[in-house]
Structures are given as structure tokens and as C-alpha cells.
Structure 1
């Protein structure tokens, strides 16, 4: 690095996207020949880890289920039997198309989600399905089981019908009665506000914008954004303290795989030190007002990656190159860091920011 600072690792990439026609110039790819991601495809490829409509339907009824841990398989089995007296999504015909979804909290990511089939046109669906989680028992005892009931309409939109949550830390696994089917009343969701406020830890990082001088020109036409991921603090204990965490980075709206960079994984700690610098070149000054740095923290466990939390650092305007986008949603702290970086080129701007749940952009090929 030009500032003489020693880091464990470093990686480089180029910021690229297809801009609207009103912006005729294009970024020069200085380090790779990434494929371009059309801006129009970005907002359509953004998914929420909380997909659904909360609060529009009455919460009523009950769900019958049982849980058991099978030591020989090292699996949690959730036997979802049935529901009764659910709220009617179709008030006129007094029916819903319900299904049951389960999570092991605090993980609310796609990898931790299990669900039953949809049973159509009924308020009293019968499932008789077993949902299985491969998990060590000592890790299971640090978590909560969340079961929620949803109506799925013809257009695959989901409406919340109620939920039940069990604290597995205090669950008596040796009590045979706890392995029997029981009825539980469905409750209203206290989230998503409460889930958003969950403590997901913090990230220590620093940003720097480095303009690239061009011979014969007074002002640089492009520059580099340097992202120094120092460490994370107090990450969620999905598996006790046995996390194997790493950080991914993309610069939105470019979601091409070649634009993705990541740190190495650091194991067996909830406060991993990465000390990794990522460099993205090809930034014009005007791109700094339209782009957004998305940093996400993940736990790698066996063949899956579970989302822990993230940051989205930009101006938080809700728009990019004139198009409304979900991902331009930076918090005031994230905006403040980006503003300081833009106003102070060639200077490291440091911050410690709280991690949060995000609408996660899918990586295009």
C-alpha cells in the first residue's frame, strides 16, 4: 500500500455497470474484464430475508407441533402436524392457502429456513411433515425455534397469519412430554422492528478515496475506493462461539460476480480480526454519489453460509443514476462515513458501525 500500512491481505476489483443512456461515458476496466450488469436488473434481483406482509390480517388460531433431538443423527426434528381456526385471507370465501415456516434464531437467513408445503383453500390445514436441522446439540441450546404461519396467494405473495417461539436454551430435552404433540396459540409478530433492533455486533473499518491523476489534465477523471475491514465485534452466536466468519463486499449497483471480494474466514471467535484491504478502481467523481458499498458478514458452516449482519455505505438517497432502488438505504452513521470519505480524498476515514439486517442483492453471473 502507498501509505506504508501493513495489512494481512488485500484484493482488487473494478467498479462497473451499464449506466442509463443519459450518461454516455463508461468506466475503464483497469484490472479485469468483468461482464456488465444492467442497472434495470439490479432492483429486480434484490431479495429480502424477511419476505412477507405483516399486520394486514388478523392473527388467530393455533398450531400443533412437536420437537425432538435425535442424538444418533445430530438432528433437530420439528414435526408440524396441523393448524386450526386460522385467519381468512379470502374473507368472502373464508379460506386461506397456509404454510408453516421455521427458523433457528438468531439466524434469519435463507440457509436456516425450512417450510412445509402449501395447503390450499382451508383454515384448518393438515401437514404431518418433519422439518430437519443438522446441528450440534450444544449449539442448539443457544438458539430459539421460530414457527410462523403464512398465506401464499396466487402471485406468491406472503401474508403473516401468526407465530410461536420456543427458547431452546431452557427447553427440557429429557422430558418425554415435551416430545408429544401440543397445541400452541398463534401470536402477533413483534418484528420486523424488534428484529431490526437486534444486536448483530459491530464492524471496525476505514474508507479512503484515492483520485488517479491523469497527465496533462488538471482534475483526475477516475479514482479508487479503498475499504479496510479491520475487525468485527460481538457477532451473533449462531453456534455458540464456534463461528467461522468472513466478510463479502460488492459495490452496488454492480452485482457481477467478478466485482465481489471477500476476506479470509476467521474461526472460533465472535470478534474476528480480518485486517483486509479491498480496492475498487474506475470511480468517476460523479459515481461516488450513485454507488453504495455493501459489506456483509457470514458464518461458514459445513456447506452453507449463514448471514450475520451487514452495512450499506453510501448517500442513502433511495436512488441510483435516476432509478429508485431498495439498496440505497444507508443509515445516518453509514452516510456520515461515506460523506467524510468523499470530502477528504487521500485520507483514511475510520468508523465503528453497528451491523444490521439488509435487503441482500443477489450476485449475477
Structure 2
């Protein structure tokens, strides 16, 4: 694993949208060392949600170890969830005939970011973690409870209940 990834993260409090702008990568490892080929793309999850609905991907850039993406990926998320979410980026080499190759990953907890400024940052790509990298996040995030209440005014006077065995 080698290389760095450049991105920015910002949040629009008016509409509840997190924007992740993937700018570029530099000095990536080759996906196919023998042919010196690299067709990279970036996969993004907003952890702890690792579902298909939470996954976003950039377009594939052909034959480069220094791809420029300039793509913005958006997530609809409430501002209350920002402190328990983490952006997880993984860079992959696309191989049409075999399995895609892992090139590196980076993670950024959102509670340590200034999301109003959305500054660009460079992160060094890290090797894949064999243990569960989301364990710390999963311990913190327990989900949400959405509750709706409705008041129904009584329309008639309730009848007193008669004791069992007696009829009114």
C-alpha cells in the first residue's frame, strides 16, 4: 500500500446534506504490478452504515497512479448523527476480468472536523485492517428511535364497566 488521498468534507445545516468532495490521489501502488497498470476508483461508506444504500463510488480513472476525480458524493444525514459517524474511503484498482484489487484506505471521524469550512486534507492510505475497524464506532452509535404521538379526543362519555358475570 502506498499513496495519499485528497478530499474535503462539509455539511449544509439548512438541508441536512453531508458533501464529500474527492479531489485526487497521488503515488498509488499499481493494481497490476506485472503490467504496471492502475485503474483506480474510490469507494466511500459513512460508517457505521455499511449497507448498499450507504455506499458511494467515484468513476474509474484509466491507467494512472495519480488520478484526479473532482467528484462530490452526497449523504442525507441529520446533524445529530455527525458526531457518531465516520467517513471511510477505500481505493481500488478496477479489473474487468478478475477481482478488483485493494490499494489502500483512510478513515476520518466526523466529530473531529470543522464541517462548516470544508477544508481540503491529505491522508496517507493505510493497509486493510484485519480486525473489525468499525468496532469503536459501533460501540458509540446505537441507532435512533423515531416516535410519533397522536391525541384522539374522546367523542362520547365512557360507560362504567360492569363486574364480571353481571350484565348491564
TM-score range, shorter-chain basis? 0.7 to 0.9
1:166 aligns with 2:166: no
State the superposition RMSD in angstroms. 2.4
Of the three residues 26, 51, 56, the one matched with 1:114 is 56
Q: 1:66 to 1:85 in 2, by over 3 A?
A: same
Residue equivalent to 1:246: none
Residue equivalent to 1:150: 92
Residue equivalent to 1:92: 34
- Choose between structure 1 and 2 for higher RCO, CA contacts under 8 A separated by at least 6 residues: 2
> Deviations for 1:9-47, whole angstroms, at most 9, x for unmatched residues?
xxxxxxxxxxxxxxxxxxxxxxxxxxxxxxxxxxxxxxx
Q: Is the 8 A contact 2:84 2:137 kept in 1?
A: no
- Cα distance, 1:199 vs structure 2: 8.2
Of the three residues 62, 65, 90, the one matched with 1:123 is 65
Residue equivalent to 1:71: 13
Instruction: Name the count of aligned residue pairs.
Output: 147
Residue equivalent to 2:144: 242
Could you tell me which runs of 5 or more consecutive residues in structure 1 were left unpaired when the two chains were aligned: 1-58, 202-233, 244-266, 269-365
For residue 132 of structure 1, give the secondary structure of its aligned residue in structure 2. Answer: strand
> Deviations for 1:191-222, whole angstroms, at most 9, x for unmatched residues?
3x3258x4899xxxxxxxxxxxxxxxxxxxxx
1:183 aligns with 2:85: no
Separation in structure 2 between the aligned mates of residue 241 and residue 113 of structure 1, nearest angstrom: 18
- Cα distance, 1:90 vs structure 2: 1.9
Could you tell me which runs of 5 or more consecutive residues in structure 2 were left unpaired when the two chains were aligned: 148-168
- Cα distance, 1:169 vs structure 2: 2.2
Pairs within 5 Å for 1:31-110: 59-110=1-52
Residue equivalent to 2:162: none
The structure with the greater share of residues assigned to strand is 1
Separation in structure 2 between the aligned mates of residue 170 and residue 136 of structure 1, nearest angstrom: 17
For residue 194 of structure 1, give the secondary structure of its aligned residue in structure 2. Answer: coil
For residue 141 of structure 1, give the secondary structure of its aligned residue in structure 2. Answer: helix
Please give the TM-score of this superposition, normalised by the length of structure 1: 0.37
For residue 31 of structure 2, give the secondary structure of its aligned residue in structure 1. Answer: coil
- Cα distance, 1:140 vs structure 2: 2.0
Q: 1:130 to 1:156 in 2, by over 3 A?
A: farther
Write out the 4+ residue segments of structure 1 that deviate beyond 2 Å after TM superposition.
Answer: 169-174, 198-201
Please give the TM-score of this superposition, normalised by the length of structure 2: 0.77
